[in-house]
Amino acid sequence: MDVCATLRTDQETKVTLVFEHVDQDLRTYLEKVPAPGLPIHQIRDLMQQLLCGLAFLHSNRVLHRDLKPENILVTSRGQVKLADFGLARIYSCHMALTPVVVTLWYRSPEVLLQTTYATPLDIWSTGCIFAEMFRRNISQPLILLYYNISANQFQYVTLEHKTSHKGQ
């Protein structure tokens, strides 16, 4: 990997990360898996690599903010690489971060409620990805969670069954 940094302003530096070519993302990788899906040991290996990469980012105060199967690359040898750091930010305890981040299906409750967030944002997205590895069918998300202001409660829609459920 190469890192290219260019100074934009006195307060902003643009960083470009250059990786080797990887043929597939996690979505493509999972779509190629024959029934009944990934064996448990393979899911564990992929998740361990993903969580180690995430731990490295978080220990260096970096939020990815857009984890989804399309932004996780898997090499032909099964090595996981995090990609697409376009929404990533270095964070501090008192820093205001924008509420519009993360692809809708992977948004944490903190983002949906437009409250402050930090590393749990990425952990929530990782949990969604973990569930999709077991589920194997990643053409639709597990659930869509949202906050209904007029009803003053969380609601979720299970898109797989096209039904709506209420919960608090």
What is residue 5's predicted lDDT score, i.e. its pLDDT? Answer: 75
Strand-strand pairing, 89-90 and 80-82: unpaired
Longest C-alpha distance within the chain, in Å? 54
The confidence band for 158, taking pLDDT boundaries of 50, 70 and 90, is low
| Domains along the sequence of the chain with CATH | 23-166 (1.10.510.10)
Mean pLDDT of the 64-70 span: 91
- pLDDT tens for each residue of 11-30: 777 777 777 899 999 999 99
pLDDT at 50 over 90: yes
Q: Which residue has the tokens 């902003």?
A: 12
pLDDT at 38 over 70: yes
Report the distance separating Cα 74 and Cα 33, nearest Å.
13
Those residues whose C-beta lies under 8 Å from the C-beta of residue 12, and which sit 6 or more positions away, are none
What is residue 68's predicted lDDT score, i.e. its pLDDT? Answer: 92
Strand partners, 165: 156
What is residue 162's predicted lDDT score, i.e. its pLDDT? Answer: 36
pLDDT at 46 over 60: yes
pLDDT at 157 over 50: yes
Report the distance separating Cα 58 and Cα 120, nearest Å.
10
- pLDDT tens for each residue of 107-119: 666 666 666 667 8
Predicted TM-score (pTM) of the model is: 0.70
- pLDDT tens for each residue of 84-137: 888 888 887 655 555 556 566 676 666 666 666 678 888 888 988 888 887 765
What is residue 35's predicted lDDT score, i.e. its pLDDT? Answer: 81
Q: 75 or 154: whose pLDDT is higher?
A: 75
What is the average pLDDT score of the chain?
77
Helices (H), 18-65: 26-32, 40-59
Just list the catalytic residues.
Answer: 66
